[in-house]
């Protein structure tokens, strides 16, 4: 999605604001690349604690647009690559990066073989 907004001030200038939503692109389901996944602890999340759409720093910083705003942000794991920026930027420490192996996803050892 691409939006144009008019910025009034000295002269009539147009500024562009880029917005994106996760979607299937050339790379497909990019969440399959992930080694670690973000997990939100609702007890620590400022939006959940306040019961309204506040903070949303994770949404702002997600480079892939995989976090939906709301009372308790929701991460779209289909496209989340597990970069961990949301966890680093969360002021409440409500997002933790956890290994995919903790969530029943097949782990791969150093040789590239599936670990059992």
Residue ranges in the chain modelled with pLDDT below 70: 1-26, 105-116
Q: Read off the pTM.
A: 0.67
Give residue 9's pLDDT.
Answer: 46
Q: Domains in the chain and their CATH numbers?
A: 25-116 (3.30.70.20)
The pLDDT, as a whole number, for residue 113 is 54
> Which pLDDT belongs to residue 38?
96
pLDDT at position 4: 42
- Provide the pLDDT for residue 7: 44
- DSSP code string of 56-115: -HHHHH-TT--EE-SSS-EE-TTT-----HHHHH-TT--EEEEEGGGGTPPPB-TTSPBP
């Amino acid at each position: 999605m691409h939006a144009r907004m008019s910025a009034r001030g000295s002269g009539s200038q147009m500024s562009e604001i880029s917005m994106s939503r996760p979607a299937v692109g050339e790379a497909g389901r990019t969440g399959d690349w992930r080694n670690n996944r973000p997990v939100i602890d609702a007890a620590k999340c400022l939006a959940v604690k306040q019961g309204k759409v506040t903070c949303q720093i994770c949404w702002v910083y997600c480079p892939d647009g995989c976090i939906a705003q709301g009372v308790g942000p929701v991460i779209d794991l289909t496209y989340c690559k597990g970069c961990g920026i949301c966890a680093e930027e969360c002021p409440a420490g409500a997002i933790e990066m956890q290994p995919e192996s903790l969530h029943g996803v097949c782990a791969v050892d150093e040789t590239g073989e599936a670990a059992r």
